[in-house]
Structure 1
């Protein structure tokens, strides 16, 4: 073995260190070949093709060979030990040359079946500066379909757990200046303290770093394919001078939101100041990855009855004190809709049906609108013109606008109770409550208009009668309805609406809840959380109390 690369046993496991500046391209195992092909670099006869599950011995040996070749900087050899050498080769080469990794120590852990975990300590060197990038990943050994050889199943995440298809690792002068994001009071917002803001801070830097007036540094980052998402910084070799970006986040409310969603494996919450539209908190569990609180697109369940009730008042179907029917079930185009446990309300008002979340009362509202020929479109019109749903929201970071499309037949009935084709995020639903509290829609935003020279979406204000009626119904739900338990202890003036949304073949419905207290409105969704007041309700209440 040549002296440029060293093989050692570290803590009872195999490790490889590629020595010197650069990898050196040393051949650690003569004759080791791979790839899902029939190529054989040896002079001996091609061995008999094996079949069946990969054995533990094959798993250990294949992982050892692959990690050794990778650590030695032999990208071609490492690629040939995968089931997709054509894709793996350039990715492994980019790790060495594009990411400027001058040395790598890779330590495999104990295999679990055909999976082998490992840790990487990579030394990144650029412009006279070197720093260590440490992380953990794993690989899986599979049997090649053509050769029968045990091979590493190629995935970009083998190189780094945050690496996805089409993305690559890069080291160099950062493309944009670093930023220092601060909350409404000047408190610094860091990814380490507010993990749900990590993606947002990266996006703010990508979009507005130049405007913030900072200088660039030297970094290692994950560059997405065609710049479709913000680059993810992995290591800072030399800091630039950060510019400051003021956000609307309230650090105290954000901390409460992050803590609240951690109680669930999948949950999102967003909070808005009704009087301004300023976003005070955005939190997700899990914190990293897809920002569901802003970009989610799910059926909002009975929280949609806020919009349906507004539509009923605007169209003269019913007012809060009007008597409406709430039977246990109702049919629409051959489909039977039920109330929870088939409850009914005899002689009740629209407010009673709202506070108890009666599905049938809101579906029966379709009948008078059908005579006008607007039953398939009226809900979407109200959502857009009065609540801003579906308009082009310029939040400052990536966010969905919500969707209430025209519908027909059974989907129309389902849409009136927040099912069908309707999709919203926690931010969209929080905006429903904010619009009610404020008496009109103000587009939510995370950074001021000056960043990116943006124009905010606008909608007509609610009429005084409709706004007052909605606030009264939401207050009834919060004090003497389905939301009362969750909202107990939340300061007045307050209002709320519960929701649960059935999704596909999901055994338990998603839990939705939205409400306001004083000048703060919030909404949360908990995947498979069941009734709105049970899971999402406590999340929203905790956020409102923090405001």
Structure 2
């Protein structure tokens, strides 16, 4: 039998070989310290604590590996020791209390060196389960300038592979705005500040339009050095590039200023946004806990408004990536009409069920339309009317139609980061699902507002928020427009849906040249589908998504209708 000292020595050897891995806490001495530690007495953490997880005696008898969630005492003690080491500036020691030593050490070292932060005080709050919130107060110093920076964050304690209690390391522990690959930096700002103006010369401020936070940051990053301003000294989040691990599949997010040490002089930048319609769109989405909407001008592609709820959340309106549900049937219908597989007033099948590629598809509430026309099927949003045509289409047909006619996925140059939609080539059941906006198809309100705008004018006009003449960039162009007879039928389909179909209730009272399409996209794990709605009225197109909103006509429909009314 191997002695306890030999086993402990072997375990220490494992520790030495595992750089950046989970570190075990063993030994009776440290266990006694944990039991005796009091958490509530530490209101402000300093640097006089001890107890590195590596300090256990080599000849101590090993304790059994613990399993299950950490106890309250373990959570409190681990959090206290981690925060104390961080406050002292000992990045290596603080990282030893995490489940990712290498990443944590790099982030905490950068916190001091790259972000120029010192004098850190950390005040833990009341534990909730395995999570401990804490307040941060720090001093930023750069070039003789100093500023106090305060914010809130939190950490969660988890069970390590060898049974020890460790901080579950995430970049958001350092600051809630950080994601994987992001860093904090202090210095002369990479771009001067800007004064963004709307299309009528009114300044657009984040205070008045908080939902423009991400858009204004993106405009500054791209146009700050082209607008005649002078950079100041700031602390900011330097975002990871879009192709970096964990950065997501949308274009890169703009850097974010967290603290200004000295103000620069802003330059002026004219945008296509309309302050009045922007306010109306913000009010419309604010009626939902989560919602996003975009409005644009079909004749030019100019973006007039963009809003998200919550206002300080992710810019889903421009960068979201959701299955668009039945709003995708606008693109699919254009394909069927062009190929002669459907016609506005021709009889078209709409059975309760349709099978393709081994999947059985059905309509909402399993309805059917007997001896109905394609127009009736579109207005009622019949899924099987599209699935029955899948066998007559090539796998790449829908992808080509979306790209060549509607400009989806053509690398739009809007002036700020955007996700420009994706309709990948699919086969079998996945191809059929794509026809009704499920499967791997991905869109956001910007994309779907553009789809409605393309139907309104017949030609894709790439959306943009800054005129291309400002920086001589080339806008994306679709390779062709819809044939006149197909366009006329598609407009009639959307007009019927707005007046007597699934969009009629939301569009009630909106006169003039109107068209609309509803959508509901099923998502695994959600009790209710995401609600979608896209529509146009005259020279104004808009689209909205309400995650977990249910039927698009009931959730996203009123949002879009309110925007269209506000636009006159």
Shorter-chain TM-score: which interval?
Answer: 0.7 to 0.9
TM-score computed with the length of structure 2 as normaliser: 0.84
Instruction: Please state how far the C-alpha of 1:333 moved relative to its aligned partner.
Output: 4.5
- After superposition, the Cα gap between the structure-2 partners of 1:381 and 1:149, relative to the gap in structure 1 and judged at 3 Å, is closer
What is residue 4 of structure 1 aligned with on the other side? none
Q: Deviations over 1:385-414 (max 9, x none)?
A: 222223232222222222333333333332
Q: Once the two structures are superposed, what CA deviation does each residue of 1:423-461 show, in whole Å capped at 9, x if it has no partner?
A: 222211111110111222111111111344211122323
- Superposition deviation, residue 59 in structure 1: 3.0
The answer to whether the Cα contact below 8 Å between 2:347 and 2:374 also exists between their aligned partners in 1 is yes
Which of residues 118, 140, 143 in structure 2 aligns to 1:102? 118
The answer to whether 1:395 aligns with 2:419 is: no
Aligned residue in 2 for 1:166:
181
Q: Secondary structure at the match of 1:14?
A: coil
Task: Give the superposition deviation at 1:470.
Answer: 1.9
1:497 and 2:522 are equivalent in the alignment: no
Cα shift at 1:308: 2.3
Partner of 2:283: 259
> Who is 1:133 aligned against?
149
Question: Using a 3 Å threshold, how does the CA distance of structure 1 residues 162 and 326 change in structure 2: closer, same or farther?
Answer: same
C-alpha distance after superposition, 1:334-385 (max 9, x if no partner): 5433222232333432222221112222333446xx3xxx543333333222
Report the Cα distance in structure 2 between the residues aligned to 1:405 and 1:152, rounded to whole angstroms. 40
- Which string of whole-angstrom CA distances, capped at 9 and with x for unpartnered residues, describes residues 191-214 of structure 1? 333233222222222222211121
Kept in 2: contact 1:271–1:522 (CA 8 A): yes
Given that 2:434 and 2:440 are in contact with CA atoms closer than 8 Å, whether structure 1 keeps it comes out as yes
* Partner of residue 107, structure 2: 91
After superposition, residues 258-407 of structure 1 pair within 5 angstroms as: 258-288=282-312, 290-366=314-390, 370=392, 374-407=393-426
1:439 equivalent among 458, 479, 485: 458
CA deviations 1:485-526 (Å, max 9, x no partner) are 111233432111111122335443221111112221111122
State the Cα deviation string for residues 234-254 of structure 1 (Å, max 9, x = none).
Answer: 000101111122221222222
With 211-220 and 523-532 compared, the bigger mean Cα shift is at: 523-532
Offset of 1:143 from its aligned partner?
4.7
1:194 to 209, 217, 221: 209
SS at match of 1:468: helix
Give the deviation of 1:218 after TM superposition: 0.3
Separation of aligned partners in 2, 1:330 and 1:164? 43
Q: How big is each residue's C-alpha offset from its partner over 1:97-125, in whole Å with a ceiling of 9 and x where there is no partner?
A: 32222323322111122321111121212
SS in 2 for 1:106: strand
Structure 1: unaligned runs, 5 residues or longer: 1-8, 18-26
Cross-structure match for 2:52: 34
**Corresponding residue for residue 14 of structure 1:** 43
Note closer, same or farther for the CA distance 1:344–1:163 as it changes in structure 2 (3 Å cut): closer
Partner of 2:258: 234
Name the CA distance, whole Å, in 2 between partners of 1:490 and 1:513. 15
2: CA distance, partners of 1:474 / 1:447: 30
**Would you say the 8 A contact 1:326–1:353 is kept in 2?**
yes
1:473 aligned residue (489, 493, 499) = 493
Name the CA shift for 1:305/1:60 in 2 (closer, same or farther; >3 Å): closer
Query: Does the CA contact (< 8 Å) of 2:124 and 2:135 recur in 1?
Result: yes
Determine helix, strand or coil for the equivalent of 2:497. Answer: helix
RMSD between aligned residues: 2.7
Q: Distance in 1 between matches of 2:120 and 2:381?
A: 60
The answer (yes or no) to whether the contact 1:156–1:164 under 8 Å persists in 2 is yes
Please state whether the residue corresponding to 2:121 is helix, strand or coil: strand
Describe the shift of the 1:211–1:47 C-alpha distance in structure 2 as closer, same or farther (beyond 3 A): farther
For 2:106 and 2:440, the matched residues in 1 are separated by 42
TM-score, structure 1 normalization: 0.87
| Gap regions ≥5 residues in structure 2 | 1-37, 243-251
Q: Write out per-residue CA displacement over residues 14-58 of structure 1, whole angstroms, 9 at most, x where no aligned residue.
A: 1147xxxxxxxxx513xx1324xx445xx8975854735533334
Alpha-carbon distance in 1 for matches of 2:558, 2:273: 21
> Residues 182 and 316 of structure 1: is their aligned pair in 2 closer, same or farther, counting only changes over 3 Å?
same
**SS of corresponding position for 1:432:** helix
Rounded Cα–Cα distance in structure 2 between residues aligned with 1:411 and 1:153? 37
The answer to whether the 8 Å contact 1:511/1:529 transfers is: yes
Are the aligned partners of 1:302 and 1:357 in contact in 2 as well (CA < 8 Å)?
Answer: yes
Q: What is the match of residue 76 of structure 2?
A: 60
Q: What are the superposed Cα offsets for residues 71-122 of structure 1, whole Å, 9 maximum, x if unpaired?
A: 2333344333334333323322322232222323322111122321111121
Q: What is the rounded CA distance, in whole Å, between the counterparts of 1:408 and 1:57 in structure 2?
A: 54
Residues 313, 93 of structure 1: CA spacing in aligned structure 2 closer, same or farther, 3 A cutoff? closer
Does residue 244 (structure 1) correspond to residue 260 (structure 2)? The answer is no
Instruction: Tell me if the contact between 1:13 and 1:109 (Cα under 8 Å) persists in the aligned partners.
Output: no
In 1, distance between residues paired with 2:450 and 2:235? 38
2:83, 2:421 → 1: CA distance? 46
Q: 1:209 maps to what in 2?
A: 224
Deviations, residues 136-179 of structure 1 (Å, cap 9, x unaligned): 11122345544x55443332222211122332221111122122
2:246 aligns with none
Shift of 1:185: 1.8
Partner of 1:418: 437
In the aligned structure 1, how far is the partner of 2:432 from the partner of 2:105? 54
2:531 to 466, 489, 511: 511
Match of 1:22 in 2: none
Whether the 8 Å CA contact 1:393–1:444 is kept in 2: the answer is: yes
The answer on whether the counterparts of 2:45 and 2:80 sit within 8 Å (CA) in structure 1 is no
Distance 1:520 1:114, change over 3 A: same
In 1: Cα distance, 2:425 partner to 2:106 partner: 47
**What's the CA shift string for 1:246-294, capped at 9, x where partnerless?**
2212222222323333333433222211111011122223444543222
Alpha-carbon distance in 1 for matches of 2:342, 2:240: 52
C-alpha distance in 2 between matches for 1:536 and 1:408: 30
